[in-house]
Chains A and B, each alone.
Chain A
Amino acid sequence: SQTIHQWPATLVQPVGSPLSLECTVEGTSNPNLYWYRQAAGRGLQLLFYSVGIGQISSEVPQNLSASRPQDRQFILSSKKLLLSDSGFYLCAWNSGRVSGEQYFGPGTRLTVT
């Protein structure tokens, strides 16, 4: 069966510090991968998606970047965090079929102070 991992689970970082969040998927190959953010009291906003190694598409202009160095690894990064980067970050995958379910990881709670 497929599983998706995210770490760390929680993170408190000062403004201006770098960020690296990691997501890995097990039990599948060549998945589509996604990064979402849920700000307090808000819905799920798609930040980045990837259909293959090295292929990254950004949905919204922002202070963050993403990379996919391996087939089942997706990394969310920032060089300098802003207060507005605080939120709950979720990684998701799907099999790549057109119109299919996405499966989410447990999430990372990021607080920028």
Chain B
Amino acid sequence: DQQVKQNSPSLSVQEGRISILNCDYTNSMFDYFLWYKKYPAEGPTFLISISSIKDKNEDGRFTVFLNKSAKHLSLHIVPSQPGDSAVYFCAASSPYGGATNKLIFGTGTLLAVQP
């Protein structure tokens, strides 16, 4: 059972425009959500996170929105740059994991920013 879903395997956006990456989850116990960026043959890099007590978190060009009632989060990148081209993973964790802090990852969305 896929608890964290990224239904769009790929997305293409023009440079300077907004990129919107979406993520859905099924477990209402998740209380912390993260976005990672991954280039080929490299480890994922942490981008931004949001706690379930918030509905928005912003860091420069990156903003994450959380809609708990819909069990949906999204990552907005404005303006998009060619260097943003990568695979983006969303992830979620639950406080019931205790000290293990396990993350459940989605399958990723490949973002291509066209110059």
Contact = CB atoms under 8 A, between A and B. Distances in A.
Interface of A: 32, 34, 42-46, 49, 51, 57, 59, 88, 90, 92, 94, 96-107, 109
B106 to A, nearest CB: 6
B41 A107 contact: yes
B42 A107 contact: yes
Contacts of A103: 46
Contact of B102 (A46, A97, A109): A46
Interface residues of B, number: 27
A49 B45 CA distance: 19
A105 B42 CA distance: 8
A43 B99 contact: no
Interface in B50-92: 51, 89
A107 B101 contact: no
B102 A49 contact: yes
B67 to A, nearest CB: 19
A59 B31 CA distance: 21
Interface in B14-54: 31-32, 34, 36, 41-46, 49, 51
A99 B100 contact: no
A109 B42 CA distance: 10
B99 A32 contact: yes
Interface string B81-115: 00000000100010101111111111110000000
Contact of B101 (A45, A102, A106): A102
B99 A98 contact: yes
Given A32-B100, A99-B32, A99-B93, A43 B41 contact: no
